[in-house]
Amino acid sequence: MHNVLESEHVPQQDATLVVSKPVSNGPFLSGNTEKHVAPTNNASPLQSKMETTLAIASQTTLYYDIVSPYSWFGFEILLRYKARWPSVEFEFIPFSLGGVMQLAENQPTARHPKKRIQIVKEIQFLKELYDVDIGYPKGNKSVFKEMVFIKKFRLPAVNPPCSTHTNDLRMQKSDKLEAVSRAFWKLYWRDEKSIISTQDLFTYLSPILGPEHAKNLIEVESQTPEVKQELTRVTKEAVESYGSFGAPWIVCEREGRETMTFHGSDKVEAIALYFGLKYEGPRPPGYNNIQSKL
């Protein structure tokens, strides 16, 4: 049987889906929480600010794959709002878009010649809209290896006692996850380097991990069954539990409301509406564009 994670990876376009699942079932929603009150039109600016920053049981989970340019856009925009929406917990989960395509029985958009042309046009326009320094790689490449590497950075948060990582990888998962994800987006989308070249992988990982650990990650750690099984698990989770059929796939959960899922990088305004929070565009005032440009 064909490996669900090694299917051809190609970009997908945007869509939206509702999942009828009570948000109270989420493990992060246990315990006492304050209920969010959306600001009214008659509220004072100070009152509105206080109301929109009440502690509520809310979470946004981004499932993403390096092969998807829309994943990179969504990744950057959600990070820009992470600090602006303190009442929302953010989680970033790498999965396999090839696996999603197979499990969801979906057809990659970019396989259609006209759709591929449109995607290339969109990327050149959206890179300015989102302020992300992205290109478009020639040919189709599998990025299974990159997603396996990135998965290693999430495992300490999943099961700390079993972690065999160095102290660098015991840092806050979002810090390392950001750096490694951007490194592979840069490798694949901007610089068009070989994803099967050990030297290219080493070049991009060394500044983040240090030469010794980068070498170990490439040659040893990424080969463990544990990591590949975890990548398979979250890919199936995205499809079977949340209805994913592409990337990025965003799951929003809030106490007292049905879970809402979104496909694509252009749904952050809708996410803000779901949580009753302020949306200030893909480039909100004061955001850091240095990281997005690598």
Tens digits of residue pLDDT in 44-64: 444 444 444 444 579 999 999
Q: 15-288, superfamily in CATH?
A: Glutaredoxin (3.40.30.10)
Q: What is the pLDDT of residue 151?
A: 58
Mean of pLDDT over the chain: 73
Place of tokens 């996850």: 177
Q: Is residue 183's pLDDT more than 70?
A: yes
Q: Is residue 2's pLDDT more than 50?
A: no
Q: Is residue 14's pLDDT more than 50?
A: no
- Would you call 44 exposed, middle or buried from its count of C-beta atoms within 10 A (0-12, 13-18, 19+)? exposed
Q: Is residue 209's pLDDT more than 60?
A: yes
Q: What is the DSSP string of 191-251?
A: S---TT-HHHHHHHHHHHH-HHHHHHHHHTGGG-HHHHHHHHHHHHHHHHTT---SSSEEE
Model pTM score:
0.72
β-bridge pairing 249-254 and 258-263: antiparallel
Does residue 32 contact residue 89 with C-beta atoms inside 8 Å? Answer: no
Q: What is the DSSP string of 135-196?
A: ---SS----HHHHHHHHHTTHHHH-GGG----GGGGS-HHHHHHHHHHHHHIIIIIS---TT
The Cα 155–Cα 162 span in angstroms is 9
